[in-house]
Structure 1
């Protein structure tokens, strides 16, 4: 009997230490955001095969984002209460199912269903994985987790769109291959998460039927920000909204803009627009990791203005060079905004406030990403892509200027 107990005890022991667990959760964020950007180069293939409009394209894109918002607002804090491991492992398995649904899609309804399930799973998983990064941060390297939370998502988006672009160009059946590779990756990560130590102070018995009402209470829509983090969020919010709105434009309509400028360019060109944005964001975030968070956030917001203006000018100049240059500037701004904002938000948060604060950040980000994209799709249908680009760019510039002017009047401590 004692040997059986000892065997069970050994089975429960985590295999991965602090460093291994940190790397695993960082790779999980990369994979989740890679999956979110992977469809971007394939949208042109879907449009050619299924003959749908720009408005339908933005609806497909927004299905993911809106489902993610629902998950963030209802289940973003679950890992603070139920534990990082069960919540993250379950979300990753749901992500794998979403990949299977998208791989099997034969039309727009199935694609929307796959993207919606993916959004729900990603909303739960990103807040849990991001909070776990803070939990596993090495004591001798403070701030590393906040930097990783800023860099890994944009690095994931860059990797996802680059790999997907290559598969679209060279692989057979890319609209299935991409999702099947991600499916295998998510299953492997879900298994690996079970080998990490549990870091959240879970509430014993939460999973028992008697606590079902308590679980439903946890799933009510909430916005949670650590009190110490609120001044930082107030400072960074306009830049966050402007950056993610611009990111949504490049993700959904960037390939269409590239085709408008260069109709005979390779399909890969459209995917490379979003890759340029995310690669520049990742490099900028990494380069700025040692600078003060407030400075990085505001400098990133300022870079969004020339990026948006140059992108706005590209169709009139009939220049792919102008498009990619504007995208790179916007990407550097995006990286600065996200890096600075996450450091302002996460550093003051207590351990039990981390997942909720992250969920609020992502909710604000994806809300800013989805609503303007749907409006841009509608405007594109009514007035054409160039008019939509002009209004989108002008809105981002106006919002960014408003945020910078407001920040100049806030106390420096914010």
Structure 2
């Protein structure tokens, strides 16, 4: 692929190398997810200062999720038309604006506005980043783009909650300091994006692409249908731990520290990152299968830990579920990256993230409301049963797809010698 395509030729300026640009995209995605997790440890401080309850916290989370989903539907495929760089520049500027609103927040309404803006910025950037990582990955390392994409998301979520929890415990003015640090980081990455090479020639239809839809190529729909249960299960696990995790940690470990709660989330996402590294050389469908098995085992052990108030079982189950979380996400990204054409990548990854964040956001909101009315134990048990059922459904779908592929592969292998001899 040429190093600088037509959208980048409007002005002659120095360009970052493709290698540096690749890692810059990974850093931006990590920062976006860090920022997404950063407000969670601050909610108790906001609640104490402004006097709102758990339902309002759920509403703040929901607004972020809905903003993100709206952006994925409207501008998710835009970078396939106008280029990756313009979409990323605008997204980072909007993200910085959200951080400013957080700093100036003087009540619940401000938090709602800030989270909504943040969701829009993150959703707009995700498709362009996922596509850009595949565009820029080294030709001799075709697995690296999805690997960095998945790992940066997991590490960002882990570091956001844990890092902000540490600031709440030990730093002055945490409700201002964390956002100032993020503004500085986003400003640095924004400067880098300005000097990135453009990686797609784009295509006509930019305005038409803004109509709310999920523009998935027809030939990919059967495969997306197969991996959807895996996507829903793995992101529902993330929503389970981010929505109910702090309360479950307090109940099982007897510790309400924001640092400890953040550390348990880090166990989940850190194990996910290790799962991605451990399985990176495995085929995507096998990765998805292994991930589904780990999700089932992890959720069962987590439930045992909660029911028996057994910290060891709770942490082991969390780590095992995290392994499945990361593995399943890597398998989904790898399988889609291998099937999408360069001018479809942003659209395809946007559909993937749309499914993912629906599964991440809606169950978490329902769980937050349910826990207030039905109790933590019943809610967590019901949630886990749904996740396990989805993971089992994913295993069935993956098995059927492998069975269908096996005869075709055998037929191809038999035909090759005849073709070569001819």
- TM-score, normalized by the shorter chain, greater than 0.5: yes
Shift of 1:333: 0.6
1:142 aligns with 2:133: no
Alpha-carbon distance in 2 for matches of 1:312, 1:52:
30
Shift of 1:47: 3.5
Shift of 1:368: 0.6
Structure 2 counterpart of 1:173: 173
Of residues 302, 312, 316, the one that matches 1:311 is: 302
Structure 2 counterpart of 1:84: 84
Shift in CA distance, 132/144, structure 1 to aligned 2, threshold 3 Å: same
CA contact under 8 A between 2:202 and 2:343: conserved in structure 1? no
Which sits farther off after the overlay, 122-131 or 318-327?
Answer: 318-327
Alpha-carbon distance in 1 for matches of 2:141, 2:395:
31
Structure 1 counterpart of 2:73: 73
RMSD: 2.0
Structure 2: tracts of 5 or more residues without a match: 1-8, 407-422
After TM superposition, the structure 1 = structure 2 runs for residues 267-306 of structure 1, keeping only pairs within 5 Å, are 267-306=258-297
Shift of 1:375: 1.1
Structure 1 counterpart of 2:27: 27
Alpha-carbon distance in 1 for matches of 2:10, 2:235:
45
Which sits farther off after the overlay, 139-148 or 83-92?
Answer: 139-148
Alpha-carbon distance in 1 for matches of 2:49, 2:166:
19
CA contact under 8 A between 1:278 and 1:331: conserved in structure 2? yes
Shift in CA distance, 264/243, structure 1 to aligned 2, threshold 3 Å: closer
Which sits farther off after the overlay, 236-245 or 255-264?
Answer: 255-264
TM-score scaled by length of structure 2: 0.89
1:58 aligns with 2:49: no
Structure 2 counterpart of 1:109: 109
CA contact under 8 A between 1:143 and 1:347: conserved in structure 2? no
Alpha-carbon distance in 2 for matches of 1:350, 1:405:
28
Which sits farther off after the overlay, 266-275 or 43-52?
Answer: 43-52
Structure 2 counterpart of 1:322: 313
Shift of 1:122: 0.5
Shift in CA distance, 15/410, structure 1 to aligned 2, threshold 3 Å: closer
Q: Deviations over 1:256-288 (max 9, x none)?
A: 221233444433111122111111111111111
CA contact under 8 A between 1:58 and 1:377: conserved in structure 2? yes
Shift of 1:408: 2.1
Alpha-carbon distance in 2 for matches of 1:87, 1:10:
16
Which sits farther off after the overlay, 146-155 or 64-73?
Answer: 146-155
CA contact under 8 A between 1:165 and 1:271: conserved in structure 2? yes
Alpha-carbon distance in 1 for matches of 2:249, 2:231:
25
Alpha-carbon distance in 1 for matches of 2:260, 2:96:
28
Shift of 1:229: 3.8
Structure 2 counterpart of 1:211: none
CA contact under 8 A between 1:55 and 1:380: conserved in structure 2? no
Alpha-carbon distance in 2 for matches of 1:93, 1:366:
22
Of residues 217, 221, 230, the one that matches 1:239 is: 230
Alpha-carbon distance in 2 for matches of 1:240, 1:280:
17
Alpha-carbon distance in 2 for matches of 1:10, 1:77:
22
CA contact under 8 A between 2:236 and 2:360: conserved in structure 1? yes
Q: Deviations over 1:294-334 (max 9, x none)?
A: 11111101111122122223332223333222211111010
Structure 2 counterpart of 1:124: 124
1:223 is paired with a residue whose SS is: coil
Alpha-carbon distance in 2 for matches of 1:203, 1:392:
43
Of residues 338, 341, 351, the one that matches 2:332 is: 341
Structure 1: tracts of 5 or more residues without a match: 1-8, 205-213
Shift of 1:43: 2.9
Structure 2 counterpart of 1:151: 151
Shift of 1:226: 3.9
Alpha-carbon distance in 2 for matches of 1:46, 1:329:
33
How many positions carry a matched residue from both structures? 397
Shift of 1:46: 3.1
